Amino acid sequence: MADELVFAGIRDLGARFRKREVSPVELTETLLGRIAKLDPSLHAFVTVTADRARADAKAAETALLRGDARPLLGIPMGYKDIYDTRGIRTTAGSALWADRVAEDDSTCVARLQAAGCVMLGKLITHEFAWGIQSPGHHFEPARNPWHRDHIPGGSSSGSGTALAAGMCVGALGTDTGGSIRGPASFSGIVGLKPTYGRCSRAGVATLSWTLDHTGPMARSAEDCAYLLQTLAGHDPLDPASSREPVGDYVRALERPLRGLRIGVPRDFFFDGADAEVTRAFETAMATYRGLGAEVRDVTIPSIWDSPSFMVIMASEAFAYHERDLRERPELYGDLLRERLLSGALYTSAEYVQAMRLRERLRNEMLDVLRSVDLLATPTSPKPAPTFAAMWDASLGFPRSNTPPFNLSGLPALALPCGFASAGLPLSLQLAGRPFDEETVLRAGHAYQQATDWHRRRPSV
């Protein structure tokens, strides 16, 4: 089957299904074949659920023949392996959970499956969504299809790899400090971190309660809109789930962009950025001006307080893992164990002060979003680092532009906006007002109608 179909989007596939040009069974078999061919070297999947995928695809085909027109019917998906799936192991990329099988589907998986999606399998995650797998770890880390010596981003690493390599049509990710947007950035795909509370976290392994988000990953803003349409909505099983009404994300894509106001916060987000990153970003802003948007600089006075994010994330992560860390530390990977333990070293007063800084930053962002409709930044100051750099504990974490939007809870989309000279993808981040995913996705979609970065494919 031609690459053109393997990389097709949700709307296009739905139309082809209904015209009977291709069936969900044929598409699923093709993707399973592609996984068998590519995944031994890319390591995106922890578990391939081939039998389940074939059964889902057959059910979708039967429903299509009955005239069922649901947009996600027959769409092959991969689920990050921290989303519980009933009867199928959910490992969180960790030896600690290597054989763990959940009794129920997570809410997000249940909603997508009820909408007719085909479950291709479970996608590797950085260990417990924070620790990249080092050599000798129980699980192999996913490789970046654009350059296998480089990470695909994380923690939703398998999701980024599988989408970039054309092994699934959509995927689920989670984002505590950028784990949807980072892989989107480094793998050249699209990822949406919705507003905190917009999508349920029930049945998803916790990293940090007040920062964790679930959301869709795909190859276009349009596909993210289709997936969000099914994922969004109140869930009584998630204490942070919002009752805010769900928008019409797909219909909103067609609204014109003219008059949209985009604010560019110059402080912090461009600190240490590669010249290629800055150039690609400015070119993207020129594209937006050409589409009728107004682009201007804005200031978020407390943005340099963002690194206090780590006080919150590490403290909450330690609270979640403390018992296992003390009783079975050998089951954690080396890098993750020390990162988690660092969460025990903050005082309660420091946690509270970090939460106060967080609230001040959030209020300032909301103030800025009274004068503009969106904030735009590079998603990452640099393209994907190498595995060697990530495994070297002396080098520390690469700088990231994503945590401020976990602190503030604002919806944020990462989408491709160019390539570095080394052939690695570059990415644009768009963030909007709380629960205004419609505007974020609309702006992403308009950009992708005017550019073709998201249509470039790695040579795999």
Partner 1 sequence: MNEITLEDVRRRAAVAGITLRDDRVEMVRRLLNEALAPLRRLDANAMRTTEPAATFDARGGDDGR
Q: Out of 43, 339, 442, 445, point to the residue binding partner 1 (CB under 8 A).
A: 339
For residue 37, what are its two tokens?
A: 């061919």
- Is 154 within 8 Å of 397 (Cβ atoms)? no
Q: Does 333 bind partner 1 (CB under 8 A)?
A: no
| Stretch in the footprint of partner 1 (CB under 8 A) among 33-41, 51-59, 81-89, 309-317 | 309-317
Only segment of 81-89, 108-116, 282-290, 390-398 that touches partner 1 (CB under 8 A): 390-398
User: Would you say 335 and 134 are in contact if contact means Cβ atoms under 8 Å apart?
Assistant: yes
Among residues 226, 249, 387, 435, which is the contact residue for partner 1, using CB under 8 A?
A: 435
The radius of gyration of the chain's CA atoms, rounded to the nearest angstrom, is 20
User: Does 197 contact partner 1 by CB under 8 A?
Assistant: yes
| Residue span binding partner 1 (CB under 8 A) among the ranges 7-15, 125-133, 416-424, 429-437 | 429-437
- Residue 346 or 419 having the CB closest to partner 1: 346
The amino acid sitting at 106 is S
- Catalytic residue list contains 80: yes
Task: Name the residue nearer to partner 1 (CB basis): 76 or 194.
Answer: 194
Residue 242 binds partner 1, judged by CB under 8 A: yes
Which candidate in 80, 122, 193, 382 is catalytic?
80
CB of 240 to partner 1, least distance (A): 7
The answer to whether 89 touches 100, Cβ cutoff 8 Å, is: yes
Kindly tell me which of 411 and 416 has the beta carbon lying closer to partner 1.
411
Q: Which of 246, 291, 344, 389 binds partner 1 (CB under 8 A)?
A: 344
CA distance 443 to 441: 5
Catalytic residue selected from 94, 106, 159, 179: 179
Span from 71-79, 112-120, 218-226, 346-354 in contact with partner 1 (CB under 8 A): 346-354
Whether 179 is a known active-site residue: answer yes
Smallest distance, Å, CB 356 to partner 1? Answer: 5
Distance CA 232, CA 86 (A): 21
User: What is the identity of the amino acid at 195?
Assistant: T
Q: What are the structure tokens assigned to 185, written together?
A: 């950035």
Q: Record the tokens describing residue 57, joined without a space.
A: 């695809």
Cβ atoms of 173 and 217 within 8 Å: the answer is yes
Note whether 309 binds partner 1 by CB under 8 A: yes
Using CB under 8 A as the binding rule, whether residue 63 contacts partner 1 is answered as no
Q: Which is nearer to partner 1, 278 or 342 (CB)?
A: 342
Among residues 50, 48, 4, 5, the alpha carbon closest in space to that of 23 is found at 5
Other CB atoms within a 10 A radius of the CB of residue 224 amount to 32
Of 11, 279, 291, 307, the one binding partner 1 by CB under 8 A: 307
Shortest reach from residue 310's CB to partner 1, in Å: 4
Whether 242 sits among the annotated catalytic residues: the reply is: no
The residue with tokens 């209904």 is: 18
Question: What's the number of CA atoms in the CB half-sphere (13 Å) around residue 163?
Answer: 38
Q: Number of residues in contact with partner 1, rule: CB under 8 A?
A: 48
Q: In which element (H, E) is residue 77 found?
A: strand 76-80
d(CA 93, CA 124): 6
Q: Decide: 30 and 50 in contact? Cβ < 8 Å.
A: no
Active-site option among 94, 106, 155, 306: 155
Backbone angles phi, psi at 46, to 5 degrees: -85, -40
- The CB-of-431 to partner 1 minimum distance in angstroms stands at 13
289-312 burial, b if ≥16 CB within 10 A, otherwise e? Answer: eebebebeebebebbebbebbbbb
287-306 residues in contact with partner 1 (CB under 8 A) are 304-306
| Residues marked as catalytic | 80, 155, 179
Judged by the rule CB under 8 A, the positions of this chain that interact with partner 1 are 195-197, 210-211, 240, 242-244, 304-311, 314, 334, 338-339, 341-342, 344-346, 350, 352-360, 363, 366, 369, 393-394, 396-397, 409, 433-436
